[in-house]
Amino acid sequence: MKVCTQFKTSAIVFGAMTAALLSGCSSTYQARSTKKSGFLQNYSQLKPGQDDRALLVYVNPQANFKAYNKIMLEPVKVYVTKGSALAKLKKEDLQSLLNYLDSTLREHLKADYAIVNQPGPGVMRLRVAITEAKGSRVILDTISTVIPYSLALSEVKRIATGSHMSVGSARVECEALDSISNARLLAAVDERVGRKITGKFDKFDKWHTAHDAFDYWAERLQVRLREERTQAVAK
């Protein structure tokens, strides 16, 4: 009976993990809080975001987003502060992160805007910076996902601190400005951390959490700008 009970328990745990792996849940989730790096010139306008918005967000209530049909995306930057994990990264890792974020932003935004290189009428200037990025510890991350006991320990840490063990994280800051007047249209600061079980087969990619977070932010920016343009038309 004891052996049978242990077998049933293991089967239940395995079944739950398998279901989670096959589910379509997001591989990252929003952190409980975030830090301001100094990349943005003014943080006083930013307020805690609601629902699916960034942790800190500002939208200019006077901005007419319908007036913009072009985006001038400045080169994505890495903004390193004291004690940041970014300061310890290899140059090639930093460049890879920059390239990925730049690429996914362009891919999402080009669906609604012409991407241009010069300011002008109808041009929104977009400034974006990676202010923190931590890669997952691949071996520990993988082991603690597979072994139920370690997974349980990871869940305890997530409840206590808001983050699992050995997973990656990423933080970005961005703002959109009128390319001629430099009037701020919107600004945001957000941070996301990785889940232990992602439903994806990318666990051996050290930067999978950062990449997934970048994709998420690019998609949300696309959606948010569409919403603001729709509201501008309705006014």
Return the beta strands (E) in the chain as ranges.
Answer: 28-30, 47-48, 56-59, 70-73, 77-78, 114-115, 123-134, 169-178, 184-194
Q: If we measure between CA atoms, which residue out of 128, 130, 154 comes closest to residue 141?
A: 154
Note down pLDDT in tens along the chain; length 235 residues: 444 444 444 443 344 343 333 333 467 788 888 889 999 989 999 999 988 899 999 999 999 999 999 999 999 999 988 888 888 888 888 898 899 999 999 999 999 999 999 999 999 999 999 998 886 543 333 333 344 444 444 443 443 334 443 346 889 999 999 999 999 999 999 999 875 444 444 444 577 888 889 999 999 999 999 999 988 655 5
- β-strands 169-178, 114-115: how paired? unpaired
- β-strands 56-59, 47-48: how paired? antiparallel
Phi, psi of 205 (to 5 degrees): -95, 115
Q: What is the DSSP letter of 30?
A: E
Query: Is-above-0.75 flag for pTM?
Result: no
pLDDT at position 146: 44
pLDDT at position 164: 40
Amino acid symbol at 227: E
Distance CA 209, CA 16 (A): 22
pLDDT at position 20: 38
pLDDT at position 232: 62
Burial of residue 205 (number of CB atoms within 10 Å: 0-12, 13-18, 19+): middle
β-bridge mates for residue 187, sequence order: 58, 175
Domains and CATH numbers, the chain: 29-234 (3.40.50)
pLDDT at position 195: 55
| Structure tokens given for 165 | 């063990």
β-bridge mates for residue 170, sequence order: 133, 192
pLDDT at position 234: 55
Longest dimension (CA), the chain: 77
Q: Work out the end-to-end distance of the chain between its first and last CA atoms, rounded to an integer number of angstroms.
A: 70
Kind and range of the H or E run holding 155: helix 148-161
| Structure tokens given for 4 | 């049978």
